Amino acid sequence: MRRSHTLDAAGLGPAQHAAGAAGGAGPGVPGTPAAGATGLSSHSPAPAPAPEPLRTTFAFELPRGYVDGSGTVHRSGVMRLATGRDELVPLRDDRVRENPAYLSVVLLARVVTRLGTIDDIHAGIIENMFATDVAFLQDLYRRVNQEGHTRAGVTCPSCQHSFAVDVAGSRLGES
């Protein structure tokens, strides 16, 4: 049976107090625990930094933008992290069975949750995007689901300075 004991302000529990009362007056004296024998040090370790909260959604800006039926261009959007189900369900889709390349279209339609003012994202929307935007979303999907972030290391061709940019970006030239 396990007993729990409380420690006093000096870090001593009932057993140490009993040993000290039985004939010990301090460290090095028989019957008293040696310094540090309590398992506690006088220096408490610095608290570990709080882990970053899990980020499950990632805002992005498409390079060109999706043009809907009325001619409105939608460039900003949100992608969420994929689940195992997101990657398994498309494998049962007849369109994917007939053409395995269609997997990325169905998968992106599942994880892109918003595109401009459109909240109902489906495969038809992804199909009608410009190829550069689909390639951008495929790269973003890989980054957030395999690497966990949207940053990429780059080097300035002029000065060779290395730095990180957020590939989800906003407008061209901004990061």
pLDDT tens figures, 162-171: 766 666 554 4
Q: Tens of pLDDT along 118-158?
A: 999 999 999 999 999 999 999 999 999 987 655 667 778 88
Query: With pLDDT > 70 as the criterion, what percentage of the chain qualifies?
Result: 65
Residue type, 50: A
Q: What is the pTM of this model?
A: 0.59
CA-to-CA distance for 27 and 19, rounded, in angstroms?
A: 12
Lowest model confidence (mean pLDDT) among 14-28, 54-68, 70-84, 117-131: 14-28
Please determine, for residue 79, whether its predicted confidence score (pLDDT) is greater than 80. yes
- Helix, strand or coil for residue 37? coil
Distance CA 171, CA 43 (A): 50
Domain ranges of the chain: 57-166
Single-letter amino acid code for the residue at 112:
V
Q: What is the pLDDT of residue 41?
A: 53
Of 36-45, 75-84, 123-132, the one with minimum mean pLDDT is 36-45
What's the confidence (pLDDT) of residue 168? 58
Which parts of 68-121 are beta strand (E)? 73-80, 112-115
Q: Buried b / exposed e across 144-159, counting CB within 10 Å, b at 16+? A: bbeeeebeeeeeeeee
